[in-house]
Amino acid sequence: MLLKLKMDYKQMTGQDYKAGCPPSVNDAAPNNGPAADGAGEDDTVDPWTVSTTNATGVDYDKLIVRFGSSKIDQELVDRIEKVCGQKPHRFLRRGIFFSHRDMHQVLDAYEKHQSFYLYTGRGPSSEAMHVGHLIPFIFTKWLQDVFDIPLVIQLTDDEKYLWKDLTVEECHGFAIENTKDIIACGFDINKTFIFSDLDYMGSSPEFYRNVVKIQKHVTFNQVKGIFGFTDSDCIGKISFPAIQAAPSFSNSFPHIFGSRQDIQCLIPCAIDQDPYFRMTRDVAPRIGYPKPALLHSTFFPALQGAQTKMSASDANSSIFLTDTPKQIKNKVNKHAFSGGKDTVEEHRKYGGNADVDVCFMYLTFFLEDDEQLEKIRQDYTSGALLTGELKKILIETLQPMIAQHQERRKQVTDELVKQFMTPRPLNFNL
Amino acid sequence: MLLKLKMDYKQMTGQDYKAGCPPSVNDAAPNNGPAADGAGEDDTVDPWTVSTTNATGVDYDKLIVRFGSSKIDQELVDRIEKVCGQKPHRFLRRGIFFSHRDMHQVLDAYEKHQSFYLYTGRGPSSEAMHVGHLIPFIFTKWLQDVFDIPLVIQLTDDEKYLWKDLTVEECHGFAIENTKDIIACGFDINKTFIFSDLDYMGSSPEFYRNVVKIQKHVTFNQVKGIFGFTDSDCIGKISFPAIQAAPSFSNSFPHIFGSRQDIQCLIPCAIDQDPYFRMTRDVAPRIGYPKPALLHSTFFPALQGAQTKMSASDANSSIFLTDTPKQIKNKVNKHAFSGGKDTVEEHRKYGGNADVDVCFMYLTFFLEDDEQLEKIRQDYTSGALLTGELKKILIETLQPMIAQHQERRKQVTDELVKQFMTPRPLNFNL
């Protein structure tokens, strides 16, 4: 009866019942699905669909309100700089990682010498990864380096099998191929464990125990509200969220953390993955585990514009990690949506619109130099910089970046993949 | 479109679509849930509830019609005798295993030297097992012996965790304790693999792959229909049926069967488990595997009468495998529902009713000698045998049987448990 009351309370407020504590406004009533409230009503953001009618992209401030997360403000960026003792990554400086949950708590603990671990992942739906897929990995590598902490990377090949018209073998094959690109991002083999669900679920009784614990504490009603599942969905989809949740708990990895279940997890991911972790944070205290903290990124825009997320199945929607210098040049010149004017004369006179220009957006992701980026913005806005010239800057930024990635990927042997994917102790001090 | 049509056909007929084949009456329209039709409407039979208002127990003939299975008739019993070359087990001679699916097909193949494997199991909800729990194991051991075939035994400790107010550790502990009782039934260690889901799910990528394949091919609508799940059920319950289904496919056990996925499975179980395997048989052809065959048993009655299945939580509802001779005597004398008359005089005059007498029912399960059993029935019915005398016969049958079981269980070392539960090759010719 008391349990029932507590569960109803939870259902209504989105929070665990604590005697004497009213639900806090900040944490209350997280959005329960794609159509649950009116804020940012033009934008759809869930793990399977990201769309907006706005050319500048999704309204991220509204998304923070809808999802009940917190903005990464200048104060937090400054604090990260102070705690890790390094200049903040450009993704932080430029608001590409723009939202968080409990990051202050992670830093509080770190200052008291209580460390944490990182968890990120990828759904391997094809062999081909594009530059947008690198965003969480580039940032996670930076976090690993500056905080000197262990990292687990989940490849949800089981999810892709459940959602797509692919065989188990195909999805597992994509997981292995994607792992090569992930390793090429430069992760420290002594501090990183990469796993395929199809392999690791069947290799770790501890991982499965956490999956079952989560599955016991989430109802169909809840996943229906959070993910929009229906009665026609297969039972694999319905129970999958528990598998994406489980790596948030340190005892899912006994070869790394032993039986410790109190090590805080920090998850850098694109904001569309937040529903999984809202659910995880809801369950965590009920099974005796700490809630994972999160850092959310914006979406990487398609070449055609910021209205949609890129599609791995449309070769012209992005720059792929396998593209040649010539392909990069052609794609940028031919497909990148421009904020420039129709004629050179008009452009010189009125200037371009950097806010909707995909080349400029890509440069905010990949051009390291803040001053150079600001100058490009000013020149483009004033009309001093033409669209063709802006495209050339992007092409010359991407070509060496992709070539270097391809060079590093070539060095990734099957043996190295196997090492990264073998459950084993990692080297770290917590 | 074609796929959709085939699925609708399946939904309507309970059969796979085959070009040119009308749905057969025998196999058509299996019951889709506890309340789906009127036949045997007094009886509730599903994996969690067995109840009837009838003192002789569930109406099994009606259940066969409702579930769409086939009766084990004399012809099939004779055929089993002929194929295995042994006198049929008393459970077959007396209709305790009374229903089947595809047993003729199993025997056809066996006669052509295509062998099969056995799969049975138990939900370990407590340390204490009672004599009724032994029924599937006694019969499965006989099948293993006479057909000389491998056997897998699943302990669904994950299921018990999901359904009961127990911890993961408690359920796993019960699985280990129950395994000792199962081993004490005399299974051949060279031909038997016993596993806990909590262990094996995390030890076999191949098992998990089959679980995911099944989960992709069953919708929430289907499990709602088959098992009566609701939107308030946890996602663990909703996806669990796939875990009970997976051992029906031989490639779930690569250490035993390698990558072979074509070996027929035969499942001896109580009829309340049939919903799981109706679902399994529905999925099998869609993922390229043979349908498992089944042999269904009736329920073992509670001491209080055949209206209910026994409860492991009520010590007086059955004879436990841990009971002392004195406890057995007291329980039978005090709690066993009698078909006798109120006074000796009346009993001598009118005779007793063996059909509702629990002592007589228990003897049909455990007294090997057919002639002796028939004589007891006649004498009790005529009034020559008094209730106290009948109880004495049962007590003297159970006491040595339980004592011998306890003696064999004592010999089961932790090391032996570990051996039975270690994934390893088995010794057999298929």
**B205 Cα to chain A: minimum distance (Å):** 4
Contacts A213 to B, Cβ<8 Å:
168
Q: Which of B216, B230, B236 sits opposite A215 (nearest CB)?
A: B236
- pLDDT band of residue A38 (cuts 50, 70, 90) is very low
Secondary structure of residue B213 in the 3-state scheme: helix
- Beta strands at B116-122 and A301-302: parallel, antiparallel or unpaired: unpaired
Q: Which site among A163, A172, A235, A252 would you substitute to test the B interface, given the most B Cβ atoms closer than 10 Å to its Cβ?
A: A235
Provide the token pair at B332.
């039978």
pLDDT given for residue B309 in this prediction: 59
Cβ–Cβ < 8 Å for A63, A30: no
Measured distance CA(B158)–CA(B137) in Å, rounded = 21
- Beta strands at A293-297 and A97-101: parallel, antiparallel or unpaired: antiparallel
Report which of B346, B349, B353 is spatially closest to residue B377, judged by C-alpha positions.
Answer: B353
Q: Which domains does chain A have, with CATH numbers?
A: 63-300 (3.40.50.620), 313-410 (1.10.240.10)
Beta strands in A224-349 (DSSP E): 264-270, 293-297, 301-302, 305-309
Cβ contact (<8 Å) for B235 and A238? yes
Secondary structure of residue B153 in the 3-state scheme: strand
Mean pLDDT over each residue of chain A, to the nearest integer: 90
Contacts A232 to B, Cβ<8 Å:
219-221
Residues of A (240-299) whose Cβ lies below 8 Å from B: 241-242
Provide the token pair at A406.
């391809």
Cβ–Cβ < 8 Å for B363, B64: no
pTM of the model: 0.89
Provide the token pair at A94.
């430029």
- Count how many residues are written for chain A: 430
Q: Which of A202, A205, A239 sits opposite B205 (nearest CB)?
A: A202
Segment B231-237 mean pLDDT:
98
User: Measured between alpha carbons, how far is residue A311 from residues A67, A300, A320 in Å?
Assistant: 24, 11, 11
Contacts A212 to B, Cβ<8 Å:
158, 161-162, 168, 198, 236
Percent helix, strand, coil in chain B, to 5, is 50, 10, 35
Cβ contact (<8 Å) for B203 and A202? yes
Q: What percent of chain A has pLDDT over 70?
A: 89
By the 10 Å C-beta count (0-12 exposed, 13-18 middle, 19+ buried), B89 is classed as buried
Mean pLDDT over each residue of chain B, to the nearest integer: 90
Q: Which residue of B has its CA nearest to A163?
A: B216
By the 10 Å C-beta count (0-12 exposed, 13-18 middle, 19+ buried), B205 is classed as middle
CA distance from start to end of chain A: 41
Residues B117-156 pLDDT 10s: 999 999 999 998 999 999 999 999 999 999 999 999 999 9
Residues A230-289 pLDDT 10s: 999 999 999 999 999 999 999 999 999 999 999 999 999 999 999 999 999 999 999 999
Contacts B230 to A, Cβ<8 Å:
220
In single-letter form, the type of residue at position B270 comes to: A
Beta strands in A47-178 (DSSP E): 49-51, 70-71, 97-101, 116-122, 151-155
Task: Judge whether residue A3 has pLDDT over 80.
Answer: no
**A15 Cα to chain B: minimum distance (Å):** 18
Segment B176-190 mean pLDDT:
98
pLDDT given for residue B3 in this prediction: 52
Residue A411's CB is within 10 A of a number of other CB atoms, namely 10
pLDDT given for residue B316 in this prediction: 86
Contacts A219 to B, Cβ<8 Å:
231-235
Residues B256-308 pLDDT 10s: 999 999 999 999 999 999 999 999 999 999 999 999 999 999 999 999 988 76
Measured distance CA(B165)–CA(B171) in Å, rounded = 10
Q: Which residue of A has its CA nearest to B236?
A: A215
Report which of B270, B274, B269, B267 is spatially closest to residue B226, judged by C-alpha positions.
Answer: B274
pLDDT given for residue B34 in this prediction: 40
Asked if the C-beta of A170 comes within 8 angstroms of chain B's C-beta atoms, the answer is no
**A246 Cα to chain B: minimum distance (Å):** 13
What are the φ/ψ torsions at residue B173 (nearest 5 degrees)? -60, -40
Q: Which site among B11, B199, B212 would you substitute to test the A interface, given the most A Cβ atoms closer than 10 Å to its Cβ?
A: B212
For tokens 């039709």, the residue is: B37
Could you give the angle at the alpha carbon of A170 between the alpha carbons of A168 and A175, nearest 5°?
95
- pLDDT band of residue A311 (cuts 50, 70, 90) is low
- pLDDT band of residue A313 (cuts 50, 70, 90) is low
Q: Which of A209, A220, A236 sits opposite B216 (nearest CB)?
A: A236
Q: How many CB pairs under 8 A join A and B?
A: 126
For tokens 């944070």, the residue is: A281
By the 10 Å C-beta count (0-12 exposed, 13-18 middle, 19+ buried), A109 is classed as middle
Q: Which of A202, A206, A235 sits opposite B208 (nearest CB)?
A: A202
Residues B76-107 pLDDT 10s: 999 999 999 999 999 999 999 999 999 999 99
Cβ contact (<8 Å) for B209 and A202? yes
Cβ–Cβ < 8 Å for B180, B421: no
Cβ contact (<8 Å) for A208 and B216? no
Q: What percent of chain B has pLDDT over 90?
A: 82
User: Measured between alpha carbons, how far is residue B373 from residues A181, A189, B77, B303 in Å?
Assistant: 73, 71, 19, 19
Cβ contact (<8 Å) for A239 and B236? yes
pLDDT given for residue A22 in this prediction: 33
- pLDDT band of residue A53 (cuts 50, 70, 90) is confident
Cβ–Cβ < 8 Å for A68, A26: yes
Contacts for B20 with CB less than 8 Å, ≥ 6 apart: none
